[in-house]
Structure 1
Amino acid sequence: MDVDSHGGAAVKAEGFGLRGPRGWVFRDIAVDAAPGSLVAVEGPSGSGRTCLLLALTGRMKPTEGHAEIGRHRLPKKMAAVRRSTALGPVPGVNDLDPALTVSEQLREGAMLQRRYDAPLRALLRPRGAHGAPAPAQDRIEEALAAVGLDLTTLPKGPRTSVRDLERLEALRLSVAIALLGRPRLLAVDDLDLKLSDAGRAEAWSLLRSVAAGGTTVLAVCSEAPDGVTVVRMGLQPQKTHGPAPESAATAAPSGPAEEAAAEDAEAEDAAAEETGTHDTEDTHDHDDHDDTDTKGADDALAETGRA
Protein backbone atom coordinates (compact mmCIF):
# COMPACT_ATOMS: atom_id res chain seq x y z
CA MET A 1 0.00 0.00 0.00
CA ASP A 2 1.21 3.51 -0.80
CA VAL A 3 1.52 5.29 2.51
CA ASP A 4 3.50 8.16 3.89
CA SER A 5 6.48 7.76 6.20
CA HIS A 6 4.13 7.36 9.18
CA GLY A 7 2.37 4.36 7.62
CA GLY A 8 -1.15 5.79 7.40
CA ALA A 9 -3.41 5.31 4.39
CA ALA A 10 -5.01 8.09 2.38
CA VAL A 11 -8.80 7.75 2.10
CA LYS A 12 -10.58 8.99 -1.01
CA ALA A 13 -14.14 8.35 -2.12
CA GLU A 14 -16.33 9.73 -4.87
CA GLY A 15 -20.00 9.04 -5.48
CA PHE A 16 -19.75 6.25 -2.89
CA GLY A 17 -23.04 4.55 -2.09
CA LEU A 18 -24.62 1.42 -0.67
CA ARG A 19 -28.15 0.19 -1.34
CA GLY A 20 -29.88 -2.34 0.89
CA PRO A 21 -33.13 -4.32 0.55
CA ARG A 22 -35.20 -1.28 1.59
CA GLY A 23 -33.39 1.44 -0.31
CA TRP A 24 -30.23 3.51 -0.12
CA VAL A 25 -28.36 3.28 3.16
CA PHE A 26 -26.00 6.06 2.08
CA ARG A 27 -25.27 7.67 -1.26
CA ASP A 28 -23.02 10.18 -3.02
CA ILE A 29 -20.35 10.21 -0.31
CA ALA A 30 -17.18 12.19 -1.00
CA VAL A 31 -14.06 11.87 1.14
CA ASP A 32 -10.53 13.18 0.65
CA ALA A 33 -8.32 12.57 3.67
CA ALA A 34 -4.52 12.50 3.79
CA PRO A 35 -2.56 9.73 5.53
CA GLY A 36 -2.62 10.17 9.29
CA SER A 37 -5.85 12.21 9.24
CA LEU A 38 -8.61 12.08 11.82
CA VAL A 39 -11.97 11.92 10.02
CA ALA A 40 -15.33 12.19 11.79
CA VAL A 41 -18.37 10.49 10.23
CA GLU A 42 -21.10 12.65 11.72
CA GLY A 43 -24.84 12.23 11.57
CA PRO A 44 -28.03 11.10 13.26
CA SER A 45 -28.91 7.54 14.12
CA GLY A 46 -30.00 5.51 11.10
CA SER A 47 -28.13 7.67 8.58
CA GLY A 48 -25.80 4.86 7.47
CA ARG A 49 -22.78 5.90 9.52
CA THR A 50 -21.76 2.41 10.59
CA CYS A 51 -22.30 0.94 7.13
CA LEU A 52 -20.07 3.64 5.63
CA LEU A 53 -17.41 2.72 8.16
CA LEU A 54 -17.66 -0.96 7.23
CA ALA A 55 -17.68 -0.22 3.51
CA LEU A 56 -14.56 1.96 3.69
CA THR A 57 -12.73 -0.80 5.55
CA GLY A 58 -13.67 -3.47 2.99
CA ARG A 59 -16.24 -5.26 5.13
CA MET A 60 -19.35 -4.27 3.16
CA LYS A 61 -19.59 -4.10 -0.60
CA PRO A 62 -20.63 -0.71 -2.01
CA THR A 63 -23.15 -0.63 -4.84
CA GLU A 64 -22.25 2.73 -6.34
CA GLY A 65 -19.13 4.82 -6.92
CA HIS A 66 -15.66 3.96 -5.72
CA ALA A 67 -13.16 4.62 -2.96
CA GLU A 68 -9.41 4.24 -2.54
CA ILE A 69 -7.71 3.23 0.70
CA GLY A 70 -4.04 3.84 0.02
CA ARG A 71 -3.61 2.46 -3.49
CA HIS A 72 -6.31 -0.20 -3.11
CA ARG A 73 -9.54 0.61 -4.92
CA LEU A 74 -12.96 -0.37 -3.63
CA PRO A 75 -14.97 -2.42 -4.36
CA LYS A 76 -12.42 -4.39 -6.42
CA LYS A 77 -9.75 -4.83 -3.74
CA MET A 78 -11.86 -5.46 -0.65
CA ALA A 79 -9.62 -8.25 0.64
CA ALA A 80 -6.50 -6.08 0.42
CA VAL A 81 -8.29 -3.24 2.20
CA ARG A 82 -9.42 -5.55 5.00
CA ARG A 83 -5.86 -6.68 5.59
CA SER A 84 -4.59 -3.14 6.01
CA THR A 85 -7.43 -1.78 8.16
CA ALA A 86 -8.81 -2.55 11.61
CA LEU A 87 -12.04 -2.07 13.49
CA GLY A 88 -12.07 -0.52 16.91
CA PRO A 89 -15.32 -0.93 18.83
CA VAL A 90 -18.28 -1.56 16.51
CA PRO A 91 -21.33 -2.63 18.58
CA GLY A 92 -22.76 -5.93 17.43
CA VAL A 93 -19.71 -6.74 15.32
CA ASN A 94 -16.65 -7.05 17.55
CA ASP A 95 -17.84 -6.40 21.09
CA LEU A 96 -15.51 -7.16 23.98
CA ASP A 97 -16.31 -10.40 25.81
CA PRO A 98 -17.62 -9.54 29.30
CA ALA A 99 -16.72 -13.03 30.53
CA LEU A 100 -12.98 -12.43 30.00
CA THR A 101 -10.44 -10.52 32.02
CA VAL A 102 -8.55 -7.67 30.39
CA SER A 103 -5.40 -9.77 30.02
CA GLU A 104 -7.39 -12.66 28.51
CA GLN A 105 -9.06 -10.29 26.04
CA LEU A 106 -5.67 -8.94 24.97
CA ARG A 107 -4.20 -12.42 24.55
CA GLU A 108 -7.21 -13.49 22.51
CA GLY A 109 -6.82 -10.44 20.30
CA ALA A 110 -3.16 -11.23 19.78
CA MET A 111 -3.86 -14.84 18.88
CA LEU A 112 -6.52 -13.81 16.36
CA GLN A 113 -4.26 -11.26 14.75
CA ARG A 114 -3.12 -12.80 11.47
CA ARG A 115 -1.05 -9.87 10.30
CA TYR A 116 1.86 -10.60 12.58
CA ASP A 117 5.15 -11.11 10.80
CA ALA A 118 6.02 -14.07 13.00
CA PRO A 119 4.41 -17.52 12.61
CA LEU A 120 1.71 -18.63 15.04
CA ARG A 121 4.13 -20.75 17.09
CA ALA A 122 6.14 -17.60 17.86
CA LEU A 123 3.06 -16.04 19.46
CA LEU A 124 2.91 -18.95 21.90
CA ARG A 125 6.49 -18.54 23.05
CA PRO A 126 6.66 -17.55 26.75
CA ARG A 127 7.90 -14.07 27.54
CA GLY A 128 11.66 -14.13 27.96
CA ALA A 129 12.22 -17.23 25.87
CA HIS A 130 15.41 -17.11 23.77
CA GLY A 131 16.41 -13.87 25.49
CA ALA A 132 13.55 -11.75 24.13
CA PRO A 133 9.85 -11.24 24.88
CA ALA A 134 7.31 -12.99 22.67
CA PRO A 135 6.19 -10.95 19.66
CA ALA A 136 2.62 -10.94 20.95
CA GLN A 137 3.66 -9.40 24.27
CA ASP A 138 5.68 -6.75 22.47
CA ARG A 139 2.67 -5.83 20.37
CA ILE A 140 0.39 -5.74 23.40
CA GLU A 141 2.68 -3.43 25.34
CA GLU A 142 3.12 -1.17 22.33
CA ALA A 143 -0.65 -0.97 21.75
CA LEU A 144 -1.41 -0.27 25.42
CA ALA A 145 1.12 2.56 25.43
CA ALA A 146 -0.42 4.01 22.26
CA VAL A 147 -3.88 4.24 23.84
CA GLY A 148 -2.70 5.30 27.28
CA LEU A 149 -4.10 2.29 29.13
CA ASP A 150 -2.10 1.36 32.21
CA LEU A 151 -3.34 -2.01 33.43
CA THR A 152 -1.90 -1.43 36.92
CA THR A 153 -4.44 1.37 37.47
CA LEU A 154 -7.41 -0.96 36.96
CA PRO A 155 -9.21 -2.23 40.09
CA LYS A 156 -7.72 -5.73 39.82
CA GLY A 157 -4.92 -4.94 37.39
CA PRO A 158 -4.78 -7.20 34.31
CA ARG A 159 -7.22 -9.56 36.03
CA THR A 160 -9.98 -6.95 36.01
CA SER A 161 -13.10 -8.29 34.31
CA VAL A 162 -14.00 -6.66 31.02
CA ARG A 163 -17.57 -6.19 32.30
CA ASP A 164 -16.23 -3.97 35.09
CA LEU A 165 -14.47 -1.50 32.82
CA GLU A 166 -15.65 2.08 32.55
CA ARG A 167 -16.76 3.25 29.10
CA LEU A 168 -13.47 5.04 28.35
CA GLU A 169 -11.41 2.12 29.63
CA ALA A 170 -13.33 -0.25 27.37
CA LEU A 171 -12.78 2.13 24.45
CA ARG A 172 -9.04 2.22 25.09
CA LEU A 173 -8.93 -1.58 25.34
CA SER A 174 -10.84 -2.04 22.07
CA VAL A 175 -8.60 0.41 20.24
CA ALA A 176 -5.50 -1.27 21.68
CA ILE A 177 -6.66 -4.65 20.34
CA ALA A 178 -7.30 -3.07 16.93
CA LEU A 179 -3.79 -1.60 16.92
CA LEU A 180 -2.16 -4.99 17.53
CA GLY A 181 -1.96 -5.53 13.78
CA ARG A 182 -0.48 -2.06 13.19
CA PRO A 183 -3.21 -1.08 10.73
CA ARG A 184 -2.91 1.82 8.34
CA LEU A 185 -6.55 2.75 8.87
CA LEU A 186 -8.51 2.43 12.13
CA ALA A 187 -12.32 2.67 12.23
CA VAL A 188 -14.24 3.37 15.45
CA ASP A 189 -18.03 3.37 15.79
CA ASP A 190 -20.23 5.39 18.19
CA LEU A 191 -17.29 7.23 19.71
CA ASP A 192 -19.34 9.70 21.75
CA LEU A 193 -22.14 7.34 22.77
CA LYS A 194 -22.96 7.52 26.51
CA LEU A 195 -20.06 9.86 27.28
CA SER A 196 -20.11 13.12 29.19
CA ASP A 197 -18.61 16.23 27.64
CA ALA A 198 -15.36 15.54 29.49
CA GLY A 199 -15.45 11.92 28.35
CA ARG A 200 -15.96 12.94 24.72
CA ALA A 201 -13.01 15.29 24.92
CA GLU A 202 -10.86 12.47 26.31
CA ALA A 203 -12.05 10.05 23.61
CA TRP A 204 -11.20 12.51 20.83
CA SER A 205 -7.84 13.16 22.45
CA LEU A 206 -7.18 9.42 22.29
CA LEU A 207 -7.95 9.28 18.57
CA ARG A 208 -5.91 12.41 17.87
CA SER A 209 -2.98 10.68 19.55
CA VAL A 210 -3.44 7.57 17.38
CA ALA A 211 -3.62 9.73 14.25
CA ALA A 212 -0.55 11.69 15.35
CA GLY A 213 1.26 8.36 15.52
CA GLY A 214 0.59 7.94 11.79
CA THR A 215 -2.57 5.81 11.63
CA THR A 216 -5.47 7.27 9.68
CA VAL A 217 -8.61 7.22 11.86
CA LEU A 218 -12.32 7.19 10.93
CA ALA A 219 -14.69 7.78 13.83
CA VAL A 220 -18.50 7.70 13.85
CA CYS A 221 -20.04 10.33 16.10
CA SER A 222 -23.14 12.42 16.64
CA GLU A 223 -21.20 15.68 16.75
CA ALA A 224 -17.63 16.24 15.62
CA PRO A 225 -15.17 18.53 17.40
CA ASP A 226 -13.33 21.38 15.72
CA GLY A 227 -10.19 20.68 13.75
CA VAL A 228 -11.09 17.38 12.11
CA THR A 229 -12.27 16.48 8.61
CA VAL A 230 -16.01 15.76 8.68
CA VAL A 231 -18.20 13.54 6.51
CA ARG A 232 -21.78 14.52 7.25
CA MET A 233 -24.52 11.94 6.83
CA GLY A 234 -28.20 12.59 6.14
CA LEU A 235 -31.10 10.22 6.71
CA GLN A 236 -32.13 8.31 3.57
CA PRO A 237 -35.82 7.77 2.78
CA GLN A 238 -36.34 4.00 2.67
CA LYS A 239 -37.77 3.08 -0.75
CA THR A 240 -37.63 -0.20 -2.56
CA HIS A 241 -38.76 1.18 -5.93
CA GLY A 242 -38.12 4.29 -7.93
CA PRO A 243 -35.11 6.62 -8.06
CA ALA A 244 -33.21 7.14 -4.83
CA PRO A 245 -32.71 10.71 -3.62
CA GLU A 246 -29.29 12.25 -3.21
CA SER A 247 -27.70 12.10 0.24
CA ALA A 248 -26.70 15.20 2.13
CA ALA A 249 -23.36 13.60 2.98
CA THR A 250 -20.26 15.60 2.00
CA ALA A 251 -16.73 16.06 3.22
CA ALA A 252 -16.66 19.45 4.91
CA PRO A 253 -14.96 21.49 7.64
CA SER A 254 -16.06 20.76 11.18
CA GLY A 255 -19.18 22.49 12.55
CA PRO A 256 -22.46 21.86 14.43
CA ALA A 257 -24.03 18.48 13.65
CA GLU A 258 -27.56 17.23 13.58
CA GLU A 259 -28.56 15.92 16.97
CA ALA A 260 -28.10 12.12 17.17
CA ALA A 261 -30.54 9.75 18.78
CA ALA A 262 -29.39 6.41 20.14
CA GLU A 263 -27.51 3.69 18.27
CA ASP A 264 -27.62 3.26 14.48
CA ALA A 265 -30.75 1.33 13.58
CA GLU A 266 -32.41 -0.80 10.99
CA ALA A 267 -31.17 0.89 7.82
CA GLU A 268 -27.62 -0.16 8.64
CA ASP A 269 -28.60 -3.66 9.72
CA ALA A 270 -30.64 -4.20 6.56
CA ALA A 271 -27.71 -3.48 4.27
CA ALA A 272 -25.65 -6.33 5.68
CA GLU A 273 -28.11 -8.85 4.24
CA GLU A 274 -27.01 -8.29 0.67
CA THR A 275 -23.98 -5.99 0.59
CA GLY A 276 -21.30 -7.71 2.69
CA THR A 277 -18.55 -9.69 0.95
CA HIS A 278 -15.66 -11.81 2.01
CA ASP A 279 -13.19 -13.86 0.06
CA THR A 280 -11.39 -17.01 1.10
CA GLU A 281 -7.87 -15.80 0.46
CA ASP A 282 -4.91 -16.97 2.47
CA THR A 283 -2.88 -14.60 4.62
CA HIS A 284 -0.86 -13.30 1.63
CA ASP A 285 -1.95 -10.15 -0.19
CA HIS A 286 -2.61 -11.06 -3.83
CA ASP A 287 -3.23 -7.59 -5.27
CA ASP A 288 -4.32 -8.99 -8.63
CA HIS A 289 -7.24 -10.89 -7.10
CA ASP A 290 -10.70 -9.48 -7.90
CA ASP A 291 -13.04 -10.47 -5.09
CA THR A 292 -16.07 -8.47 -6.17
CA ASP A 293 -18.04 -11.61 -6.98
CA THR A 294 -17.64 -13.26 -3.56
CA LYS A 295 -20.42 -12.89 -1.01
CA GLY A 296 -21.10 -13.39 2.69
CA ALA A 297 -21.60 -10.55 5.17
CA ASP A 298 -21.25 -12.88 8.12
CA ASP A 299 -17.81 -14.06 7.02
CA ALA A 300 -16.65 -10.53 6.29
CA LEU A 301 -17.67 -9.19 9.66
CA ALA A 302 -16.51 -12.28 11.52
CA GLU A 303 -12.89 -11.62 10.62
CA THR A 304 -12.66 -8.62 12.92
CA GLY A 305 -10.35 -10.66 15.11
CA ARG A 306 -7.65 -10.11 12.53
CA ALA A 307 -8.89 -6.71 11.38
Structure 2
Amino acid sequence: MTDPTEVIPRDDELATRAGRREAFGEVLIRATQIGVDASWGHIFGPVDLTVRAGGVTVLQGAGGRGRTALLLTLAGRMKPTTGSLEAYGRTDSPHHLFDLAAIANIDEVDGIGQTIRVHDIVTEQVRWAARWNKWVPQSTEEDLERICRPVFGDLTLPPMRAMVEELPELTSSLFRIAVANIRKPPLLVVGGVDKLSSIPAAGRLLERLIALGREQTVITADVNGVPLQDGVTDVIEVANLTDHELAELEREASER
Protein backbone atom coordinates (compact mmCIF):
# COMPACT_ATOMS: atom_id res chain seq x y z
CA MET A 1 0.00 0.00 0.00
CA THR A 2 1.40 3.37 -0.98
CA ASP A 3 2.22 5.73 1.87
CA PRO A 4 0.18 8.90 1.20
CA THR A 5 2.94 11.01 2.76
CA GLU A 6 5.61 9.61 0.45
CA VAL A 7 7.76 12.38 -1.00
CA ILE A 8 7.62 12.25 -4.79
CA PRO A 9 10.77 13.71 -6.39
CA ARG A 10 10.32 15.88 -9.45
CA ASP A 11 11.85 14.79 -12.75
CA ASP A 12 14.75 17.20 -12.32
CA GLU A 13 15.51 15.76 -8.87
CA LEU A 14 15.48 12.24 -10.24
CA ALA A 15 17.88 13.32 -12.98
CA THR A 16 20.18 14.86 -10.39
CA ARG A 17 20.19 11.69 -8.31
CA ALA A 18 20.79 9.57 -11.40
CA GLY A 19 23.82 11.61 -12.37
CA ARG A 20 27.17 11.40 -10.67
CA ARG A 21 27.53 12.82 -7.18
CA GLU A 22 29.71 15.91 -7.08
CA ALA A 23 33.17 15.30 -5.69
CA PHE A 24 33.90 17.17 -2.47
CA GLY A 25 35.60 20.42 -3.35
CA GLU A 26 34.48 20.47 -6.97
CA VAL A 27 33.40 23.94 -8.11
CA LEU A 28 29.60 24.06 -8.25
CA ILE A 29 28.95 27.80 -8.54
CA ARG A 30 31.15 30.48 -10.04
CA ALA A 31 29.99 34.08 -9.90
CA THR A 32 31.81 36.59 -12.08
CA GLN A 33 31.11 40.28 -11.48
CA ILE A 34 27.46 39.58 -10.64
CA GLY A 35 25.24 42.35 -9.36
CA VAL A 36 21.59 43.20 -8.95
CA ASP A 37 19.98 46.56 -9.58
CA ALA A 38 16.37 47.54 -8.94
CA SER A 39 14.33 50.32 -10.49
CA TRP A 40 15.06 52.44 -7.44
CA GLY A 41 18.80 51.78 -7.32
CA HIS A 42 21.76 49.50 -6.76
CA ILE A 43 21.35 46.48 -4.43
CA PHE A 44 24.72 44.70 -4.57
CA GLY A 45 27.72 44.00 -6.75
CA PRO A 46 29.93 43.52 -8.52
CA VAL A 47 30.78 40.26 -6.71
CA ASP A 48 33.17 37.45 -7.63
CA LEU A 49 33.02 34.19 -5.67
CA THR A 50 33.28 30.43 -6.02
CA VAL A 51 31.29 27.82 -4.11
CA ARG A 52 32.77 24.34 -3.85
CA ALA A 53 30.83 21.13 -3.31
CA GLY A 54 30.14 19.85 0.17
CA GLY A 55 30.37 21.34 3.61
CA VAL A 56 29.44 24.89 4.52
CA THR A 57 30.52 27.98 2.58
CA VAL A 58 30.25 31.12 4.70
CA LEU A 59 29.96 34.50 3.00
CA GLN A 60 31.56 37.16 5.18
CA GLY A 61 29.99 40.55 4.63
CA ALA A 62 27.67 43.23 5.92
CA GLY A 63 24.11 42.16 6.61
CA GLY A 64 21.15 43.83 4.96
CA ARG A 65 19.32 43.75 1.67
CA GLY A 66 22.49 43.38 -0.42
CA ARG A 67 23.60 40.22 1.33
CA THR A 68 20.06 38.85 1.30
CA ALA A 69 19.81 39.52 -2.44
CA LEU A 70 23.13 37.72 -3.01
CA LEU A 71 21.88 34.65 -1.11
CA LEU A 72 18.67 34.72 -3.14
CA THR A 73 20.72 34.94 -6.34
CA LEU A 74 22.87 31.95 -5.34
CA ALA A 75 19.66 29.97 -4.74
CA GLY A 76 18.18 30.85 -8.15
CA ARG A 77 15.47 33.06 -6.63
CA MET A 78 16.84 36.27 -8.12
CA LYS A 79 18.45 36.84 -11.50
CA PRO A 80 21.62 38.94 -11.71
CA THR A 81 21.28 42.07 -13.79
CA THR A 82 25.03 42.17 -14.44
CA GLY A 83 27.81 39.61 -14.65
CA SER A 84 27.68 35.87 -15.16
CA LEU A 85 26.62 33.03 -12.86
CA GLU A 86 27.69 29.45 -13.66
CA ALA A 87 25.94 26.85 -11.52
CA TYR A 88 25.67 23.07 -11.81
CA GLY A 89 26.90 22.99 -15.38
CA ARG A 90 24.77 25.84 -16.76
CA THR A 91 25.38 29.54 -17.20
CA ASP A 92 22.84 32.23 -16.32
CA SER A 93 20.04 29.70 -15.81
CA PRO A 94 18.27 30.68 -12.57
CA HIS A 95 15.40 28.24 -13.16
CA HIS A 96 17.84 25.33 -13.24
CA LEU A 97 19.49 26.56 -10.03
CA PHE A 98 16.08 27.12 -8.43
CA ASP A 99 15.20 23.45 -8.93
CA LEU A 100 18.41 22.30 -7.25
CA ALA A 101 18.29 24.59 -4.20
CA ALA A 102 16.32 25.04 -1.01
CA ILE A 103 16.38 28.36 0.82
CA ALA A 104 15.61 28.85 4.49
CA ASN A 105 15.60 31.35 7.33
CA ILE A 106 15.25 34.36 5.03
CA ASP A 107 12.12 36.31 5.93
CA GLU A 108 11.52 37.51 2.39
CA VAL A 109 11.13 33.90 1.25
CA ASP A 110 10.13 31.61 4.11
CA GLY A 111 8.80 33.95 6.78
CA ILE A 112 6.22 32.08 8.86
CA GLY A 113 3.11 33.78 10.21
CA GLN A 114 3.61 34.19 13.90
CA THR A 115 0.07 33.25 14.96
CA ILE A 116 0.34 29.72 13.64
CA ARG A 117 1.22 26.44 15.34
CA VAL A 118 4.12 24.13 14.57
CA HIS A 119 1.53 21.38 13.91
CA ASP A 120 -0.05 23.41 11.09
CA ILE A 121 3.27 24.06 9.37
CA VAL A 122 4.22 20.38 9.52
CA THR A 123 0.81 19.35 8.14
CA GLU A 124 1.16 21.81 5.27
CA GLN A 125 4.61 20.53 4.38
CA VAL A 126 3.55 16.88 4.46
CA ARG A 127 0.63 17.66 2.14
CA TRP A 128 2.81 19.60 -0.29
CA ALA A 129 5.27 16.71 -0.46
CA ALA A 130 2.64 13.96 -0.90
CA ARG A 131 1.25 12.61 -4.16
CA TRP A 132 -1.19 15.13 -5.57
CA ASN A 133 -4.11 12.66 -5.64
CA LYS A 134 -3.73 11.36 -2.09
CA TRP A 135 -5.61 12.69 0.91
CA VAL A 136 -3.23 13.37 3.78
CA PRO A 137 -4.47 13.52 7.39
CA GLN A 138 -3.27 15.91 10.07
CA SER A 139 0.41 15.55 10.86
CA THR A 140 1.68 13.46 13.74
CA GLU A 141 4.66 13.42 16.08
CA GLU A 142 6.19 10.89 13.69
CA ASP A 143 5.98 13.44 10.86
CA LEU A 144 7.66 16.05 13.06
CA GLU A 145 10.43 13.58 13.90
CA ARG A 146 10.95 12.58 10.27
CA ILE A 147 11.09 16.14 8.98
CA CYS A 148 13.01 17.82 11.78
CA ARG A 149 15.38 15.25 13.28
CA PRO A 150 17.96 15.39 10.43
CA VAL A 151 18.28 19.14 11.04
CA PHE A 152 17.98 19.20 14.86
CA GLY A 153 20.29 16.29 15.57
CA ASP A 154 20.20 15.67 19.32
CA LEU A 155 18.54 19.01 20.05
CA THR A 156 14.96 19.07 21.33
CA LEU A 157 12.26 19.36 18.67
CA PRO A 158 9.60 22.08 19.00
CA PRO A 159 6.27 21.09 20.61
CA MET A 160 3.59 20.43 18.00
CA ARG A 161 1.10 22.78 19.68
CA ALA A 162 3.55 25.63 20.20
CA MET A 163 3.02 28.89 18.37
CA VAL A 164 5.90 29.75 16.09
CA GLU A 165 6.32 33.07 17.88
CA GLU A 166 6.92 31.19 21.14
CA LEU A 167 9.89 29.23 19.85
CA PRO A 168 13.40 30.20 21.01
CA GLU A 169 15.41 31.72 18.18
CA LEU A 170 17.63 28.68 17.62
CA THR A 171 14.64 26.32 17.61
CA SER A 172 12.78 28.64 15.24
CA SER A 173 15.70 28.83 12.81
CA LEU A 174 16.23 25.06 12.78
CA PHE A 175 12.50 24.48 12.29
CA ARG A 176 12.42 26.81 9.29
CA ILE A 177 15.43 25.01 7.81
CA ALA A 178 13.79 21.63 8.36
CA VAL A 179 10.53 22.48 6.60
CA ALA A 180 12.35 24.21 3.73
CA ASN A 181 14.74 21.29 3.29
CA ILE A 182 12.11 18.53 3.20
CA ARG A 183 13.19 17.42 -0.32
CA LYS A 184 16.91 17.64 0.52
CA PRO A 185 18.11 19.11 -2.80
CA PRO A 186 21.85 19.29 -3.54
CA LEU A 187 22.12 22.95 -2.42
CA LEU A 188 20.82 24.52 0.79
CA VAL A 189 21.06 28.30 1.24
CA VAL A 190 20.44 29.58 4.77
CA GLY A 191 20.09 33.14 6.02
CA GLY A 192 23.05 34.38 8.02
CA VAL A 193 23.96 32.62 11.25
CA ASP A 194 24.54 36.10 12.66
CA LYS A 195 20.78 36.69 12.63
CA LEU A 196 20.70 34.96 16.01
CA SER A 197 21.32 37.36 18.88
CA SER A 198 22.94 34.70 21.07
CA ILE A 199 26.53 33.80 20.20
CA PRO A 200 26.19 30.25 21.63
CA ALA A 201 22.96 29.75 19.64
CA ALA A 202 24.69 30.92 16.46
CA GLY A 203 27.46 28.43 17.16
CA ARG A 204 24.95 25.57 17.56
CA LEU A 205 23.26 26.61 14.32
CA LEU A 206 26.59 26.47 12.50
CA GLU A 207 27.22 23.01 13.99
CA ARG A 208 23.92 21.78 12.58
CA LEU A 209 24.67 23.30 9.16
CA ILE A 210 28.02 21.51 9.18
CA ALA A 211 26.16 18.26 9.86
CA LEU A 212 23.85 18.94 6.89
CA GLY A 213 26.91 19.76 4.80
CA ARG A 214 27.94 16.12 4.93
CA GLU A 215 25.19 15.34 2.41
CA GLN A 216 24.46 18.72 0.82
CA THR A 217 26.32 21.87 -0.13
CA VAL A 218 25.35 24.60 2.32
CA ILE A 219 25.77 28.36 1.88
CA THR A 220 25.23 30.81 4.72
CA ALA A 221 26.63 34.18 5.83
CA ASP A 222 28.10 35.98 8.83
CA VAL A 223 29.18 39.57 9.16
CA ASN A 224 32.41 38.57 10.95
CA GLY A 225 32.94 35.23 9.25
CA VAL A 226 33.59 32.04 11.23
CA PRO A 227 36.78 30.17 12.11
CA LEU A 228 37.88 27.65 9.51
CA GLN A 229 37.15 24.19 10.92
CA ASP A 230 36.18 20.72 9.83
CA GLY A 231 33.01 20.98 7.75
CA VAL A 232 33.53 24.65 6.78
CA THR A 233 34.72 24.50 3.19
CA ASP A 234 35.42 28.20 2.66
CA VAL A 235 34.95 31.56 4.35
CA ILE A 236 34.68 34.12 1.55
CA GLU A 237 34.93 37.84 2.24
CA VAL A 238 32.39 39.58 0.02
CA ALA A 239 32.55 43.30 -0.71
CA ASN A 240 30.06 45.53 -2.50
CA LEU A 241 27.02 44.37 -0.52
CA THR A 242 26.00 47.94 0.28
CA ASP A 243 26.23 51.22 -1.58
CA HIS A 244 29.52 53.09 -1.40
CA GLU A 245 28.41 55.54 1.30
CA LEU A 246 27.23 52.80 3.64
CA ALA A 247 30.32 50.74 2.90
CA GLU A 248 32.46 53.65 4.10
CA LEU A 249 30.47 53.82 7.35
CA GLU A 250 30.96 50.07 7.81
CA ARG A 251 34.71 50.47 7.25
CA GLU A 252 34.96 53.27 9.80
CA ALA A 253 33.03 51.24 12.38
CA SER A 254 35.30 48.22 11.93
CA GLU A 255 38.42 50.35 12.49
CA ARG A 256 37.34 51.83 15.82
> When the two structures are superposed, what TM-score results if normalisation uses the length of structure 2?
0.75
Distance in 2 separating the partners of 1:210 and 1:97 = 26
Match of 2:89 among 64, 71, 83: 71
Partner of 1:119: 131
Deviation at 1:6, TM superposition (A): 8.2
Mark the CA change 1:6 to 1:183 in structure 2 (over 3 Å): closer, same or farther: farther
- Is 2:239 the partner of 1:234? yes
Partner of 1:191: 193
Are the counterparts in 1 of residues 118 and 163 from structure 2 also a CA contact under 8 Å? yes
Deviation at 1:13, TM superposition (A): 1.5
- In structure 2, give the amino acid aligned to 1:19: D
- In structure 2, give the amino acid aligned to 1:163: E
- Is 2:66 the partner of 1:48? yes
- Is 2:38 the partner of 1:20? yes
Q: Which runs of 5+ in 1 are unaligned?
A: 128-133, 240-246, 248-256, 261-307
Are the counterparts in 2 of residues 12 and 31 from structure 1 also a CA contact under 8 Å? yes
Distance in 2 separating the partners of 1:162 and 1:53 = 24
Match of 1:87 among 103, 107, 114: 103
Mark the CA change 1:126 to 1:93 in structure 2 (over 3 Å): closer, same or farther: closer
Distance in 2 separating the partners of 1:86 and 1:9 = 19
The count of corresponding residues between Structure 1 and Structure 2 is: 228
The answer to which structure has the higher strand fraction is 2
Query: SS of 1:16's equivalent?
Result: strand
Mark the CA change 1:110 to 1:220 in structure 2 (over 3 Å): closer, same or farther: farther
Q: Which runs of 5+ in 2 are unaligned?
A: 1-15
Distance in 2 separating the partners of 1:258 and 1:73 = 37
Query: SS of 1:17's equivalent?
Result: strand
Partner of 1:267: none
Deviation at 1:102, TM superposition (A): 1.1
Deviation at 1:173, TM superposition (A): 0.4
Using the aligned pairs only, state the percent identity. Answer: 22
Mark the CA change 1:80 to 1:139 in structure 2 (over 3 Å): closer, same or farther: farther
Distance in 2 separating the partners of 1:152 and 1:231 = 32
Mark the CA change 1:139 to 1:54 in structure 2 (over 3 Å): closer, same or farther: farther
Distance in 2 separating the partners of 1:40 and 1:101 = 31
Distance in 2 separating the partners of 1:141 and 1:68 = 36
Deviation at 1:68, TM superposition (A): 2.3
